[in-house]
Amino acid sequence: MEKIDIIDQLPYTEPFLFVDELMEVGENGAVGAYTFSGDSDFYKGHFKNHPVTPGVILTECCAQIGVVCLGIYLLQNEVDFTQKTIQIGMSSTQMEFLFPVLPNEKVTVTSEKVYFRFNKLKCKVKMHNSKGLLVCKGEISGMFKSNANA
């Protein structure tokens, strides 16, 4: 499965798609990038006159790139993605936020697989800004389920 095909399989669309590019994906992790558009609605109220990207959005970006893209890659031989039968849910997250991400800032997310068993994927994730500064890190787990026989 090509990297662009993995992005096409994500169950998200604008304005809730936080993956612009998937640079690497393999058995043990993924690397991808996203630029947070300054036009995004969440900047209007977070915070007055000093907008920063909310932590929940940073977490979602890490989950989409680091867990969901990797999970799709890992399941490519078990699931018929042409039928759009996969369901994905985050099961746990623990994140540490170190620096703000500003509007129009590009970030790169790197994930490292901790384990993948019984369709549960746990990854260590890191997000860096375009200057290479680590802005957040943590662990995210997600569950994958196929509805092919439902």
Question: How much is the pLDDT for 77?
Answer: 79
The question of whether 46 is a catalytic residue gets the answer yes
Tell me the per-residue pLDDT of 92-121, one tens digit each, with 9 for 90 and over. Answer: 999 999 999 999 999 999 999 999 999 999
Q: What confidence tier does 76 reach under pLDDT thresholds 50, 70, 90?
A: confident
Q: Residue 144 has which token pair?
A: 């994958």
Give the pairing type, strands 106-117 and 120-129: antiparallel
Q: What confidence tier does 80 reach under pLDDT thresholds 50, 70, 90?
A: low
Question: How much is the pLDDT for 84?
Answer: 62
Question: How much is the pLDDT for 56?
Answer: 97
Give the Cα separation of 30 and 24 in Å (integer).
Answer: 5
Catalytic residue among 3, 46, 120, 122: 46
Question: How much is the pLDDT for 28?
Answer: 98
Least confident of 3-7, 118-122, 145-149: 145-149
Question: How much is the pLDDT for 71?
Answer: 94
Give the Cα separation of 124 and 118 in Å (integer).
Answer: 18
Residue 86 has pLDDT above 90, yes or no: no
Give Cβ neighbours of residue 136 (< 8 Å, ≥ 6 apart).
55, 58, 59, 62, 95, 96, 97, 98, 99, 126, 127
pTM summary value: 0.93
Q: What confidence tier does 150 reach under pLDDT thresholds 50, 70, 90?
A: very low
Give the Cα separation of 8 and 2 in Å (integer).
Answer: 10
Phi, psi of 134 (to 5 degrees): -70, 115
Mean pLDDT of the chain: 92
Domains and CATH numbers, the chain: 3-146 (3.10.129.10)
